[in-house]
Chains A and B, each alone.
Chain A
């Protein structure tokens, strides 16, 4: 059944790979590694994100987690979460490339600790350097159109605007900005990252024409993460199918669905 669902909407490409699933999934905050593994399976996601932190040898050094991630069979997208400067993010990206053996990097440079809003100037600086260094940069940004254009122009593999602050689950705060970004950047790979809380939020941005969504907290902290992962996958698929089907235009006035020709006599007078 899962295979059929994903095959209904076309594949897409990012950073040189072709993917069937349009849902990227984070690996944090799950009740257990088994639930994470089951959620990945039920979502059919093909990309999972991972983080990097200081190693504590007595804790086993993260190898158990890394072995589990490797067993998932997904592409790995390491992040630079927690970095507050371009230099920090660049250094961490190089460390990630060595550990994970991938040039993919989800670039996050935080500018404000309360909202986790990215520092867009530092993000652009780091993205520019990392693309020169051979990385495929997935750049986390806000819904600012011009910054998204700059990041795309810097060679980012994907530009990933937030819908709302990370982990807030509020859904698209500025649908107009997201919709406009999609229209103004038809050739860019655009992935909505952060702030989605419900499958309907994911469907909404997919209906705008975004290439994919990236989820974590909304799945991991659901009462049933495995079932929620599936629900999001279905919403992403439905939203994409709707976009590809060209939704009807909005109208300001009602228009009867039932034909008016041949109406019965009782309205004739």
Chain B
């Protein structure tokens, strides 16, 4: 299968992952950590990660806590 060409946090990425959760694991994210995901600016709840299919051109954002005012 040809890899999907998507963007993750603004960077172009080629991936074999078919679903969001596969992508997160492929990129080394510990699934129990404090972070959240959006695809194409739409929030994807954690419970949907295993089923959320990726398609060509998806823009994935993975965000985490930082200091803030």
Contacts and interface: CB of A to CB of B under 8 A. Distances in A.
Interface of A: 26-30, 36, 49-57, 61-63, 65-66, 69, 78-79, 81, 87-88, 91-92, 94-96, 98-100, 166-167, 214, 216-217
Interface of B: 9-10, 27-30, 33-38, 41-43, 45-46, 61-69
A204 B45 CA distance: 43
Contact of B67 (A30, A91, A92): A30
Nearest to B9: A54
Contacts of B37: 95
Majority SS of interface residues in chain A?
mixed
B64 A63 contact: yes
Contacts of B10: 54
Contact of B63 (A36, A55, A66, A166): A55
20 contacts: A26-B68, A26-B69, A27-B69, A28-B69, A29-B69, A51-B66, A52-B65, A53-B66, A54-B61, A55-B63, A56-B9, A61-B35, A62-B35, A66-B65, A79-B68, A79-B69, A91-B38, A91-B41, A98-B36, A99-B64
A51 B69 CA distance: 7
B69 A92 contact: no
